[in-house]
C-alpha cells in the first residue's frame, strides 16, 4: 500500500519566491496534518484538516503561509514570499483516528526546503 | 496547556547497552501517550503507545509504561543495536482535540 506521498523531496529557492509543497494522504484517512521540523524549534504543527476542512491553523506562522485541501486525496502548503527562516523540513501526515484511542499518524518522507 | 518534555540528546551508547530516554508530560484530562521514531532521511513512525494509566506499550524490544503518578512515559530497551540509531519523539494526544503534541526529540547514537 502506498503511504503518504510528498513532493518535492528537496527544494532550493531564492528569497521572495513562491514555494508550493504537495501531499497525497493515505486513501481513506480523514485527517491531514502539516508539520514543520527545524533544529531550533523541533516539530511544530502548522495546520490540520478533517474531511478537507481546516480545523486548526493556529500554528501557521504568518500570512505568508497558506494551506488548502481541495479534495480528500490532495493538499498543498504554500509560502509566498519565502524567506530564509522558512528553511526546514515540512512533513505531511494523515490519520483515520488521531485522537484518544489510536493516535497513529502516518508521515510522509518530508520536503526539505532551503531558501537562500 | 498540554506539553511534553524529553531529555536532551544526543544519547551515545555502545551496542548492547541499556537505554533509557526520559519523557514527562503535562496534560488536562487523560491523554494517550506515544513514542515515535525517525530514522535518518525518513518521516516519523509510531513505535509504541499506551492509552491509560499503568498500560505498558512495547515493540521491537522497546518498552514504556504510562505512569500517572509521576506523569512519565520513559522509553527503555535492554540491549540497543546500531540499527536503533535514530531520533525518538515522545508525544501525547490532546484529549479534547485531534492533535498530537510532540516533544523536541532525543537523538540516539549507538556505536559498535
3-state SS, one letter per residue, for B53-98: CCCEEEECCEEEECECCCCECCEEECCCCHHHCEEEEEEEECCCCC
Q: Which pLDDT score, from 0 to 100, does residue B41 have?
A: 86
Q: Which pLDDT score, from 0 to 100, does residue B97 have?
A: 75
Q: Which pLDDT score, from 0 to 100, does residue B99 have?
A: 82
Q: How far apart are CA B24 and CA B66, in angstroms?
A: 10
Query: pLDDT-derived band of residue A102, with 50, 70 and 90 as boundaries?
Result: low
Q: Which pLDDT score, from 0 to 100, does residue A11 have?
A: 97
Whether the predicted pLDDT of A42 surpasses 90: no
Nearest to A107 among B32, B45, B99 (CB): B45
Nearest to A50 among B34, B89, B98 (CB): B98
Instruction: Compare A104 and B11 and report the one with higher pLDDT.
Output: B11
Query: pLDDT-derived band of residue B110, with 50, 70 and 90 as boundaries?
Result: very high
The predicted model gives A67-73 an average pLDDT of 96
Q: Classify residue B29 by burial, with Cβ atoms within 10 Å: 0-12, 13-18, 19+.
A: exposed
Distance of CA A17 to the CA centre of its chain: 18
Q: Give the residue from B74, A46, B112 showing the smallest Cα distance to B66.
A: B74
The predicted model gives B84-104 an average pLDDT of 88
The predicted model gives A65-83 an average pLDDT of 97
Give the B-side interface with A, CB within 8 Å. Answer: 31-32, 34, 36, 41-46, 49, 51, 89, 91, 93, 95, 97-105
Query: pLDDT-derived band of residue A103, with 50, 70 and 90 as boundaries?
Result: low
The predicted model gives A1-18 an average pLDDT of 94
Contact in structure between A47 and A67 (CB atoms under 8 Å):
yes
Q: What percent of chain A has pLDDT over 90?
A: 81
Phi, psi (degrees; rounded to nearest 5) at B82? -55, -35
> B20-51: per-residue pLDDT in tens?
999 999 988 888 899 999 999 889 999 999 98
Q: B106 to each of A34, A90, B74, B86, how far by Cα in Å? A: 21, 19, 12, 8
Q: How far apart are CA B34 and CA B38, in angstroms?
A: 13
Amino acid at each position: 500500500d502506498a503511504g503518504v506521498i510528498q513532493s518535492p523531496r528537496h527544494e532550493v529557492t531564492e528569497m521572495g519566491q513562491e514555494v508550493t509543497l504537495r501531499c497525497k494522504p493515505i486513501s481513506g484517512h480523514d485527517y491531514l496534518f502539516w508539520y514543520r521540523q527545524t533544529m531550533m524549534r523541533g516539530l511544530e504543527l502548522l495546520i490540520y484538516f478533517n474531511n478537507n476542512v481546516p480545523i486548526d491553523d493556529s500554528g501557521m506562522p504568518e500570512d505568508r503561509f497558506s494551506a488548502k485541501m481541495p479534495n480528500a486525496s490532495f493538499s498543498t502548503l504554500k509560502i509566498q514570499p519565502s524567506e530564509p527562516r522558512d528553511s526546514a523540513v515540512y512533513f505531511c501526515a494523515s490519520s483515520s483516528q488521531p485522537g484518544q484511542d489510536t493516535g497513529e499518524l502516518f508521515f510522509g518522507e518530508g520536503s526539505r526546503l532551503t531558501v537562500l | 496547556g498540554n506539553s511534553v518534555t524529553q531529555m536532551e540528546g544526543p544519547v551515545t551508547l555502545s551496542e548492547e547497552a541499556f537505554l533509557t530516554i526520559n519523557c514527562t508530560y503535562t496534560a488536562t484530562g487523560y491523554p494517550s501517550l506515544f513514542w515515535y521514531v525517525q530514522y535518518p532521511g525518513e518521516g516519523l513512525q509510531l513505535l509504541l503507545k499506551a492509552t491509560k494509566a499503568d498500560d505498558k506499550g512495547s515493540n521491537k524490544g522497546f518498552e514504556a509504561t504510562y505512569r500517572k503518578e509521576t506523569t512519565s512515559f520513559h522509553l527503555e530497551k535492554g540491549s540497543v543495536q546500531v540499527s536503533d540509531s535514530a531520533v525518538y519523539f515522545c508525544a501525547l494526544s490532546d484529549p479534547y482535540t485531534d492533535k498530537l503534541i510532540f516533544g523536541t526529540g532525543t537523538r540516539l547514537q549507538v556505536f559498535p
